[in-house]
Amino acid sequence: MLLALLFAGNIIAQEIAYIESDRNWHRLYDAKGKLIKGFARSSVGEVVGWGSTFFVGKNTGFYRVFDVKGRVTASQSIGNVGDVLSVSSETITSRKGSWILIWDKKFKKIGSRPAPSR
């Protein structure tokens, strides 16, 4: 019984509701306003978006996907991705030239379409 309770506790993952950034830190908060974890801006770079279980940082020529514990789970060069437009619960949308690219949270391209002219 105790083992089942411990195992069940590991299944429930914290979800990101909001990321607050200042000059030196990015702080992740859950839906109740509780601090999940803080990360140094120097290691993450600029946060360009987040989903409920991950966030995307832009730093030193790469976009990196981080989980709530701060582990890098995927990365892709800025040259391959272009400009990140949005991040949702499971996808990342970017614009590269005249294309809109859709990526999963492992930076595997799952779709593309022509972008509207600017």
In a domain, 52, yes or no: yes
Using alpha carbons, select from 39, 43, 3 the residue that is nearest to residue 21: 39
The total number of structural domains in the chain stands at 1
In a domain, 8, yes or no: no
In a domain, 10, yes or no: no
In a domain, 3, yes or no: no
C-beta atoms surrounding 61 within 10 Å: 10
Per-residue tokens: 34: 């509780």
Q: Is the dihedral of CA 105, 106, 111, 116 positive or negative?
A: positive
In a domain, 74, yes or no: yes
Residue 95: which domain range? Answer: 15-114
In a domain, 9, yes or no: no
| The pLDDT of residue 56 | 98
pTM for the structure as a whole: 0.85
Q: Which amino acid is at 59?
A: N
In a domain, 79, yes or no: yes
Q: How far apart are CA 2 and CA 49, in angstroms?
A: 38
Q: How far apart are CA 62 and CA 60, in angstroms?
A: 6
| The pLDDT of residue 14 | 87
Reported as a single tens digit per residue, the pLDDT across 15-37 is 999 999 999 999 999 999 999 99
* Block residue for tokens 């999940």: 36
In a domain, 4, yes or no: no
